[in-house]
Structure 1
Amino acid sequence: MKPITKSQMDSQQKTLKILLVFSRLNDFKHEIYDGFMDKIGGLATVDLYIHQFSTQNAYHFEKVIKDKLSQYDYFAFMLHANHPNEDFLKTVNSIPKDKLLLLEKRNEFIKGKYACVYQDFEQDIYEALQKAKELILKYNTLNCIVQEHYANADYVSEGLSRFAKENNLKCNVYNEVMEETIRPKEAYLILSERYLAEALGYCKNKKMNIGEDVGIVSYNETPIKEVLSGGITVVSTDHFQLGKNAADLILSGKKEHIRNSFLFIQRNSL
């Protein structure tokens, strides 16, 4: 598809329609949506559709997309799971590729040339830890605390393990927070908001100073982390920019795969 010219934008202002499909809404999805709408401006009508990608919903999902196929110019999907049900993939593959945009993650089962803004979870975390290397090396162990069913846990832990090995750090991966796993002289990359709260609680109970006795790095930026416990260090994709990049691909007509920017935000907890 050719790039949209200024005159075409003017003529399509009321007709270009985009369906944005998320599995759920949270703070990060809101940031993506806000970035998307900021870039799109008044150049398109954007409808947001929330759909749970479970096996039981596959038939309903197929019916919804088929019914809407002629109604929208673009379908932008965030396929959250590592291995979405093959019925979902079959439905997504049935969409003409010049109408398809994938957000956050590439999928090898989606065939053809389509637009995508993605995170490289393993490389992103590795490069972010490299930026924090001087701070992390104050500690003797680097731990990852990740919920068991987190979709990208394997990629994140691989990036963390690679960094730890190169820098002669001990490395552990935990699927829950327990009092005995929060130890002095160790640093923690925590991927869950709930686990972050629990870890901070154990640090308080043990009278350990965050950023001195123990290092804390949280995954994904939210406004509360700027002020929580004097400031929580964060590694995070730029969700707002992800949304802007996605909108830019639609407006330009490009069928490229763009790796989204990843941030290391230094605060007092490391």
Structure 2
Amino acid sequence: MPETIKIDHESQIPVYKQIVGQVEELVRSGEYPDGCLLPSMNELSAALDISKETVKKAYSILRNKGFIDARQGKGFYVSAAGVADKLSVLVLFDKLSNYKQVLFNSFAEEIGDAAEITIRLHNQNVDLLEYYVEENLDLFDYYVITPHFPLDAASQKRVLKILTRIPNRKLIMADHWMKELPGNYGAVYQDFANDAYEGLGYGLKKLKTCSRFNVVTLPSSLYYASVGEAVERFCRDNDIAVEFHTEITPEIIREKEVYLILNSQYDLGLIELVRRARELNFRVGRDISIISYNESPINEIILNGLTTISTDFRQMGVLVARMILEKSLSKVKCDFQMIRRNTF
């Protein structure tokens, strides 16, 4: 059996990862059937002229993934049917906010028992992304990544280079599509440059009656420029007065005006806006209106119902799961909508 495993010593892929990838393929193809005895660590290390520690590391990973098991005194063998047949998916999220939790939950629910899911957070840190990709290259069947990183040219170039290490057939971008990356990978995304325009359109009738539309955000937000431009274009096309603010002061809280919070509901902007409004005895939903960017379940409760414009994160998770289950990757834009509640 050792002769069916080949090592390419010229490859940049670590030897233990080559062993893991090949054994997985041999199990899935049936060449290594259920219950098949694998070579011992000594046998394989001698046959491939590699260290026993390298084989030990590969076998450990294969055991953790459910492809092989060990019996005292008998060695390593292919696990029972059904365990190794499961797909392995590495999910690399930038953060686990409420709406990312919705995305993940719908993904996990849709994919069900067909896959083993491992989740890690890269925190929009390119170095951390590189570490996770390098450490897990060729160890998973699919890599689902939310590629939210600083938008400067150097960072974006690094991210693209890192993502090219992952085979197209295994890569799915979620929430953001880096169109500069060529290939037939999957992407389930929102369009930051245009979605806000579409979402605000659902509230156009009321927005036309307000005296001013105020946008509250931090310039440090990754997609401030794209979303802000879409909002500005919407207001210009519909003859709506608009102002952009980077901080909440009493002077900007004015009756009969609408406020869009571009960051999530946990940002200080929303809290400070409501606090200032209450100091002026303004009631949200009656005296001023508030819209938040990005939907999550808690918005049903905040302020007796917080109106949002948002991509459909539940749909996003379902679509990513279906691409994996159907082994058919494509680029799909998620629905974007306004969910009207008490605040608007």
Residue 191 of structure 1 is matched in structure 2 by: 262
Q: How far has the Cα of 1:138 moved from its partner? A: 2.2
Aligned mates of 2:201, 2:249 — CA distance in 1: 27
**Structure 2 unaligned regions, length at least 5:** 1-28, 30-80
Q: 1:151 and 2:219 equivalent?
A: no
In the other structure, the counterpart of 1:52 is 123
**Matching of residues 201-220 of structure 1 within 5 Å:** 201-220=275-294
Pick aligned residue for 1:79 from 134, 137, 147: 147
Q: CA deviation at 1:160?
A: 1.2
CA distance in structure 2 between the aligned counterparts of 1:224 and 1:101, rounded to whole angstroms: 28
Superposed displacement of residue 163, structure 1:
1.5
SS at 2:147's partner residue? coil
Q: Runs of 5+ in structure 1 lacking a partner?
A: 1-7
Q: How far is the alpha carbon of 1:255 from its aligned partner?
A: 2.5
Report the more deviating stretch, 70-79 or 249-258: 249-258
Report SS of the residue matched to 1:264.
strand
Q: Give 1:82 shift.
A: 5.1
Q: Which has the larger radius of gyration?
A: 2
Name the residue aligned to 2:167.
96
TM-score for both structures, normalised by structure 2: 0.70
State the structure with bigger RCO (CA 8 A, min sep 6), 1 or 2. Answer: 1
Structure 1 residue 250: Cα displacement: 1.4
- Residue 197 of structure 2 is matched in structure 1 by 126
Partner of 1:4: none
What is aligned with 2:63? none
- TM-score of the superposed pair, with normalisation by structure 1: 0.88
Alignment of 1:245 with 2:307, yes or no, is no
1:63 is displaced (CA, Å) by 4.5
Aligned Cα root-mean-square deviation (Å): 2.0
2:331 maps to which of 254, 257, 265: 257
Q: Does 1:269 align with 2:343?
A: yes
Tell me what 1:139 maps to. Answer: 210
Q: What fraction of aligned residue pairs are identical, expressed as a percent?
A: 29
Give the superposition deviation at 1:228: 2.6
**CA offset digits 1:24-79 (Å, max 9, x no partner):** 22211111110110110000111001223435x25xx4344233222111111101
Q: Tell me which residue corresponds to 1:3.
A: none
Q: Is the 8 A contact 1:139 1:187 kept in 2?
A: yes
Paired AA for residue 230 in structure 1: N
Secondary structure class of the residue paired with 1:65: helix
